[in-house]
Structure 1
């Protein structure tokens, strides 16, 4: 892909790129929506290969589900328009339909089923593979996108993890965990000038972005809770992310 992976945009310095390479708020939100939308599509598609052509496959009549098992920034590729594409289905597993609720479908597998930090707790303890695991990985990915910190960042020691790091600051202290580059001089205004027309007279673009970021981080936290059944459904995640973008920009594009 022309713009490489999400990994090199979130952590350019660690990947040998200039620190000037960064994503603004709307780019991150759009990438999150692209990734969640493609994941929802994958739940009802049987794909031998996956690329941007996946959107052209008929999926309403397919029953086989796919669990990606390795959602992380390096597996999200960005094309010339910064549209996100889920990549690398090397660890993906096909699920048999074992219940009415497709999220309950599961298989048992041996070997590595993900990447440390993005892998759901239950996947580390047993061989049970469900769609809940991908929801957890997406939640961690979402938190990383808006905090700038990966799940294995050096700050996470003595039992502290990305999920609890964000959860503890959601009420009134969220700016302590948000990626500071989102509010760098000129970044917010340059990326969201069109959205200014939708702001209330007493509301600044920065305030609006902060409000949206809180909502996004709440989704990330809800997706990465420890109990699998308590995690959000990916269709609800996609719907809520779309609603956040609509409320901010005033458009559905």
Structure 2
């Protein structure tokens, strides 16, 4: 699509792919939020409005494509089609199905041979949320010796700190604060950004907890993301 995939916007970019992306690579806070809402709505449709339900099984930034309007589209249903065929088959296939997905994004139960599930997709989406707002991949070299993306985000959330946020998000926030000061307007930008950041991190953490039964349902996730966007534009 016109604006490539989310992976190239979040982490690295090859100028040979599309020179137009290089000039506007920085995703704004609202763009990040809109992209997450687009992806959450797509998962909600697959999980709750398709019969039978479709499990994507490999949600990650490179499988999120962005069109010319920066609307996000979930792509690559190769594994999902395979899983859809196997879900209703005999248990002897569970182990091979469980190996599907991408390291860092696949839920832990898949590695133990569990059936693909809606909760598995929610786990991957939770990682995507945290990655979008911290700029850290789940496989980042920072995460070793027991530290994981989940514990990293949870620790930041416990202190109500936003220092774990992507520096580009904090730069945007600070620029907005300065702009309002320059024109003599009262500044609520910091609180607006910080409240929404804390909300996003909390939703992400609640999505990729270890046990599937404890994860949020995707429809509830959509509701929380829409509340955050409404709050952002009202303040």
TM class by shorter chain equals 0.7 to 0.9
Check 1:173–1:109 CA distance in 2 against 1; reply closer, same or farther (3 A cut).
same
The answer (yes or no) to whether the contact 2:57–2:121 under 8 Å persists in 1 is yes
Deviations 1:2-40 (A, max 9, x none): 00001001013xx33559621010000000000000111
In structure 2, C-alpha distance between the alignment counterparts of 1:203 and 1:123, rounded to whole Å: 47
1:75 corresponds to 2:63? yes
Root-mean-square deviation (CA, aligned residues, Å) is 2.7
1:9 corresponds to 2:13? no
TM-score by length of structure 1 reads 0.78
The answer (yes or no) to whether the contact 2:119–2:212 under 8 Å persists in 1 is yes
**Match in the other structure for 2:121:** 134
In structure 2, C-alpha distance between the alignment counterparts of 1:19 and 1:159, rounded to whole Å: 38
TM-score by length of structure 2 reads 0.84
1:25 corresponds to 2:21? no
Q: CA deviation at 1:71?
A: 0.3
Structure 1 residue ranges without an equivalent (≥5): 45-58, 99-106
Could you tell me which of 148, 160, 168 is aligned with 2:135? 148
In structure 2, C-alpha distance between the alignment counterparts of 1:210 and 1:95, rounded to whole Å: 44
In structure 1, C-alpha distance between the alignment counterparts of 2:9 and 2:63, rounded to whole Å: 12
The answer (yes or no) to whether the contact 1:183–1:206 under 8 Å persists in 2 is no
More helix by share: 2
Matched position secondary structure for 1:2? coil
Deviations 1:132-162 (A, max 9, x none): 1100000000000000001001100112110
In structure 1, C-alpha distance between the alignment counterparts of 2:228 and 2:173, rounded to whole Å: 22
Deviations 1:156-184 (A, max 9, x none): 01121101101011133522210011121
Check 1:180–1:157 CA distance in 2 against 1; reply closer, same or farther (3 A cut).
same
Matched position secondary structure for 1:154? coil
Q: CA deviation at 1:206?
A: 2.4
In structure 2, C-alpha distance between the alignment counterparts of 1:235 and 1:110, rounded to whole Å: 29
Q: CA deviation at 1:215?
A: 0.4
In structure 2, C-alpha distance between the alignment counterparts of 1:132 and 1:72, rounded to whole Å: 15
**Match in the other structure for 1:243:** 227
In structure 2, C-alpha distance between the alignment counterparts of 1:138 and 1:64, rounded to whole Å: 21
The answer (yes or no) to whether the contact 2:32–2:132 under 8 Å persists in 1 is yes
In structure 1, C-alpha distance between the alignment counterparts of 2:47 and 2:77, rounded to whole Å: 13
In structure 1, C-alpha distance between the alignment counterparts of 2:168 and 2:213, rounded to whole Å: 34
Aligned pairs for 1:114-193 (under 5 A) are: 114-184=101-171, 189=176
In structure 1, C-alpha distance between the alignment counterparts of 2:31 and 2:187, rounded to whole Å: 22
**Match in the other structure for 1:55:** none
The answer (yes or no) to whether the contact 1:67–1:95 under 8 Å persists in 2 is no
Structure 2 residue ranges without an equivalent (≥5): 16-21
**Match in the other structure for 2:193:** 209
